Chains A and B, each alone.
Chain A
Amino acid sequence: MFEITYDLVVFITGLMAVLASLGVILCSSPIYCALYLIGHMICLALLFLLYHAEFVAAVQIIVYAGAVMILFLFIIALLGGRKEIQEASFERFMALSFAGTLFGELLLAATVGPTKPIQGAVDAQVLAEVGSAKVVGLELFSRHLVPFELASVLLLVAAVGIICLAKFPSAPLKRRTR
């Protein structure tokens, strides 16, 4: 019998995340793609937990798997999730070869050459004593205060942009004869 170790759990969760992301790009129906993406987000949140980032894992579940994916599902329901016919073509072959090349290069960059270790002050023991949310909050409101405030400005700009897009509807385009 094999025993369940930390490494095994991390490996299986990572494998499930990869399989779910494959499901996102291979399913024909948009609704199944969205469901696979939710599964992928949850797997990633579990991985965040396993790498001692509890606060970010909670934010991942709430913001991504909750809010963003509900938005996606609403839009799919609104537009009618039509199935997409997928056939092999030359463009697809080119895209596949490009992605394969990119993957090979990234793997090469991942395995060749040592990275120089930098050791910070916040190790797993400190995290376990203080708590992830408190450490993140202290960092966010002391050293990274300006980017935090700029992010709020960014969200405000996005909200104003949405209102502009929704409030002034353009006239329906007449179908042109070809």
Chain B
Amino acid sequence: MGPNFVLIISATIFCIGALGFMIRKNPLIMFMCVELMLNSVNFLLIGYSDFLNSMDGQIFALMIMAVAAAEVVVGLAIILTIFRTRHDLNVDHINVLKG
């Protein structure tokens, strides 16, 4: 499968992730949608690293994985802290920053 297949699949998954981030109210599922978007970009990098016979794409994908792991850990801790103080997990109800 050529570059167009990779581009189209990656664009589809990215748009599904963006849509899910906007329509869901649960912050956990919003995080999952962020993961979807990061993964679609990873797939694009890996595919093009194969087409261009270069390793840079794979190195970039590894860096994105490290950043995503750090981001997930911090984000989930913040969600837990919000749940501990407010006992509510709807992002529409979280409208003050003061704890």
Binding site for B on A (CB under 8 A): 7, 10-11, 14, 17-18, 21-22, 24-25, 30, 33-34, 37, 40-41, 44, 47-48, 51-53, 55-56, 59-60, 63-64, 67-68, 71-72, 75-76, 78-79, 82, 84, 86, 91-92, 95-96, 98-100, 102-103, 106-107, 110-111, 115, 117-124, 132, 135-136, 139-140, 144, 147, 151, 154-155, 157-159, 161-162, 165-166, 169-173
Contacts and interface: CB of A to CB of B under 8 A. Distances in A.
Interface of B: 1, 3-9, 11-20, 22-26, 28-29, 31-33, 35-36, 39, 42-43, 46-47, 49-50, 52-56, 58-59, 61-63, 65-74, 76-81, 83-86, 89, 99
Contact of A41 (B7, B9, B39, B99): B39
A11 B99 contact: no
Contacts, number: 220
A120 B70 contact: no
Contacts of A51: 6, 46-47, 49-50
Contact of A120 (B1, B46, B53, B59): B53
